[in-house]
Chain A
Amino acid sequence: MLKNYSKFVTTLFCGFLGVVVAANALTPDKSFSEMENRNLAQKPVVSLNGLLTGKFMSEYESYVTDQFAGRDGWTAAKAAIELASGKQENNGVYFCGGSTLITRFDAPDAEKVEKNLTYINKFAGLSSVPVYFGLIPGAATVWADRLPEGAPNYDQKLVIDRAAQSTAAQFIDLYTPLMEHKSEEIFYRTDHHWTSLGAYYGYTGVAGALGLTPVPLTDYVKTTVSTDFYGTVFSSSGVRWVRPDSMDTYVPEDGVTVTSYTYDAQGNPVEVARQLYDESFLAKKDKYAMFLGGQQALGVVRTGHTDKPKLLLIRDSYSDSLVPFLTPHFSEIHLIDLRYYKQSAAQYIQDNGIDTALVLYSVPNFVSDTNLVWLGR
């Protein structure tokens, strides 16, 4: 190589490193990534202990990668290259036809599934009121025919059947009503949750099991609240070439109040008012949190139908969009999230005059959940 050309190559390489270093130095650090839905690592503080244990080093590496300039863009480019190289999945998400992204579901840990089922049986034994238990199949199973040809996919029906067979609670079949309507838009194409329409069919299943008469779908007026929802599967896939989802609501929120029970910084109990639909989330990335305002340890939905019974719902986030459909049938719906609520649910039933308890999880959440153990106390 000629000397000048060598200098050019050297400059090119050092220039590339320099540009990236400068871009990283000039972009201000962010505290939260909307795309990844998590807090980003911040610059760690140097300490002797941190240096000796290596904690400082690993934190610093996390900081550099989390704050990397144009992080989302690099990730999107990688997904596009994967697609171009013939892949039909990226970061555990299948590229499906019709602008649909579906999170891959692999064989769950059978031991864990059994354990979680045992905790629910324990709860059914402890509870002074009837306990119902339902598992919601995810898009990977209901929309299995939309997956790439031959894509490995564990049938969630197997988990549901196992639960139905072994549970001491009264089992609710949600598989059948969802499968009957699988050609409709019952899941978001870019998010792992069911749509309000999907939640409605889930509601018909729940109502059937509880002996309630579901409100016919035709009685509702559908309201489209957003047409540019990009959900969690969109985020994790890195795929940026799909159409956004629409979000609808069916049930009017008139007369419904929501209270979230939590603690302030000093540890004193406080009550925060919430709404059935919090439209402020529609301006953010995490639009699904519009339903009941997202995560909470304990929330109570009061409907005004004071003559109706009280429901305790042990839930994951799928229930947030189901709750509106349940409002005509109950005076109060108490929502417990076991990740944050660490007291006895059986005791809660007694203390609050609950009439019916319902444990409702999506299969992917249920097989990986580590907090159901709290139900057995």
Chain B
Amino acid sequence: MVFSSVFFLFTYLPIVLLLYYITPLKLRNLVLLAVNLVFYAWGEPVYILIMFLSIAIDYTHGLLVEKFKGRGEDRKARWVVASSVFFNLALLFFFKYWDFIAGSLAGMGLTFMPRLGLSLPIGISFYTFQTMSYTIDVYRGDARAQRSIVNFGTFVTLFPQLIAGPIIKYKDLGDQIDRRTHTAGRFASGVQVFVVGLAKKVLLANNLGMLWDTYKALPAGSLTTAGAWLGVVAFSLQLYFDFSGYSDMAVGLGRMLGFEFGPNFNYPYISRSLTEFWRRWHISLGSWFREYLYIPLGGNRVGKGRLFLNLMVVWAATGIWHGASWNFLLWGLYYGLLLAAEKFFLGRWLERRPVWFQHVYALFFILLGWAIFALEDFAQMGPYLAALFGFAGGGLWDSGFLYYFRAYLPMLLVAVLASTPAGKGVWTRLEETPKKLVLPVLLLLGLLISTCYLVDATYNPFLYFRF
């Protein structure tokens, strides 16, 4: 189930809110667990078993780690952590990477791994990372093991962030699972963040996505340089509003249920370097890799050669986490190299350049990176990248480009503006009274217009039924 659907908004959510708030405080996690499971099973009725397995494994591992640590048996505790990491990565590997590796090997003529053709369980990349962090946090003493399986299950399956993050570490959420307060203030702020997220996803991301789809589908021969840039700009904005919109909806829904999740995006496109970009983009993933991979590898406190190697390992992992395909690995390594360059020399050089140059530099490499990210097929990526640099089959621009540019210009301007803190700045400077008057109007408009688009998306006249 996705948040941006008529069914979620007008069937699932009202039932959840109603059930949740009529249940006494003590039983709310049980209700939450039940609705979480329905949420997951709705799209994945069979894969819910993997979810149960994951809960059972990590629940027992957490308890074991704490038991061994309590007895001072650190070696045993480490083995349990290793076992938990193994199970989680094995699940992830099996469902997400098996066919990718089998296919790549088959391409080299090695056929000992049969292709399984399993569909990817939704959200597995997110929840395996969360459960892994749990046993590690317990081992590190950052969190206490969860004794209640209901509470633990609620943590793993919490529907607002189940299928698209943010990736929440147990140490940040554990206390809230056990005890949280429900206030009108928190609910109301949740409503605002949710509606902003919904509008980002439905009105901006989906719309710009159609522009990207047009350019993605163009054969190399008719691609123009201007069109290729328009396409990649559309994709960059689509991805940002899609993902950050989804995170906003997660944060908003969390608040409606009394939770507080950390922010996942912080205006990434205003960055002046790629290092800054990764502090602002998908924050929860970056911090996960930093905490559970980069720092354990030695972090910054190693020699230059080792540091370079560490960066490449972390970024290769980050890349391939985004999807089982070579282009994601390439995209990760692309960032590994650029970030290493910034760390070693480029960053210092960049600081002495004018601010506008820093923005242009960052945006150029971000956009180029998205082109690699978006085009899984290398046979398509090559001509597309060539088109970006002026070697386009269709020339510099054509009438189709002008048509799309004109048609999407207002939408692009709104999206560019919305990816800067300008709107927030205006809002915070507004006096209390006008704010109070404007807010309900904006909320209702956001909900109404989003509903128009959601209903329209399912509107499919069957013309050829009668020709």
Contacts and interface: CB of A to CB of B under 8 A. Distances in A.
Contact of A53 (B6, B45, B402, B464): B45
A77 B188 contact: no
B191 interface: yes
Given A1-B188, A74-B452, A16 B458 contact: no
A36 B466 contact: no
Interface stretch (A60-68, A240-248, A263-271): A60-68
B463 A8 contact: no
A238 B456 contact: yes
B11 interface: yes
Contacts of B44: 54
Given A7-B188, A74-B456, A316-B467, 15 more contacts: A3-B185, A9-B440, A10-B191, A16-B444, A17-B17, A18-B14, A53-B45, A54-B45, A68-B455, A71-B455, A71-B459, A86-B407, A87-B407, A232-B461, A235-B461
Contacts of A17: 9-10, 13-14, 17
Given A37-B466, A232-B463, A75 B455 contact: yes
B443 interface: yes
16 contacts: A3-B184, A3-B185, A6-B184, A8-B440, A9-B439, A20-B10, A37-B466, A38-B465, A52-B46, A66-B458, A68-B6, A74-B451, A75-B452, A81-B452, A86-B406, A151-B403
B184 A150 contact: no
A238 B460 CA distance: 11
Contacts of A89: 407
B409 interface: yes
B459 A294 contact: no
B402 A6 contact: no
Interface residues of B, number: 55
- Size category of the binding interface on chain A: 35 or more
A183 to B, nearest CB: 23
A338 B72 CA distance: 79
B420 interface: no
A10 B188 CA distance: 5
Interface of A: 1, 3, 5-10, 12-14, 16-18, 20-21, 24, 35-38, 51-54, 57, 60-62, 64-66, 68, 71, 74-75, 77-79, 81, 85-89, 91, 148-152, 192, 232, 235-236, 238, 286, 289, 294-295, 316-318, 365, 368
B449 A81 contact: yes
A266 B452 CA distance: 44
B428 interface: no
Contact of B17 (A14, A71, A286): A14
A36 B45 contact: no
A161 B49 CA distance: 57
Contact of A148 (B11, B13, B403, B462): B403
Contact of A61 (B7, B455, B460, B463): B7
A9 B439 CA distance: 9
Nearest to B406: A86
Given A64-B7, A65-B7, A74-B456, A150 B187 contact: no
A70 to B, nearest CB: 8
Nearest to A74: B455
Given A10-B191, A24-B10, A295 B461 contact: no
Given A86-B406, A236-B461, A150 B455 contact: no
Interface in B359-407: 399-400, 402-403, 406-407
A85 B410 contact: yes
Contacts of A54: 42-45
A192 B464 CA distance: 11
A155 B187 CA distance: 55
A151 B214 CA distance: 13
Count chain A CB atoms within 10 A of each CB in B10, B460, B462 and give the residue with the most: B10
A365 B467 contact: yes
B189 interface: yes
Nearest to B443: A12
Interface string B180-193: 00011101110110
Given A13-B443, A61-B5, A5 B436 contact: yes
B459 A91 contact: yes
A7 B440 CA distance: 12
Contacts of B10: 17, 20-21, 24, 64, 68
Contact of B6 (A14, A35, A64, A78): A64
A20 B455 CA distance: 12
Contacts of A1: 185, 188-189
B350 interface: no
Q: What 8 pairs across the A-B complex have the smallest Cβ distances?
A: A317-B467, A150-B403, A38-B462, A6-B188, A9-B188, A150-B399, A74-B455, A65-B458
Nearest to A50: B45
Contacts of A16: 444, 447
A289 to B, nearest CB: 7
Contact of A85 (B187, B402, B411, B461): B411
A175 B439 CA distance: 57
Contact of B460 (A36, A88, A295): A36
B68 interface: no
Given A52-B46, A85-B411, A65 B455 contact: yes
Interface in B1-60: 5-7, 9-11, 13-14, 17, 42-46
Contacts of B458: 62, 65-66, 68
A6 B43 contact: no
A12 B440 contact: yes
Contacts of A148: 403
A74 B14 CA distance: 20
Nearest to A288: B466
Count chain A CB atoms within 10 A of each CB in B13, B44, B402, B467 and give the residue with the most: B467
A61 B43 CA distance: 11
A289 B467 CA distance: 10
B408 interface: yes
B453 interface: yes
A26 to B, nearest CB: 13
Nearest to B410: A86
B17 to A, nearest CB: 7
Contacts of B411: 85-86
Contacts of B440: 8-9, 12
Interface in B79-126: none
A56 B268 CA distance: 40
B218 to A, nearest CB: 10
B46 A6 contact: no
Contacts of A18: 14
B455 A12 contact: no
A5 to B, nearest CB: 6
A79 B455 CA distance: 12
B185 A36 contact: no
Nearest to A191: B463
B438 to A, nearest CB: 12
A238 B406 CA distance: 21
Contact of B467 (A64, A66, A85, A295): A295
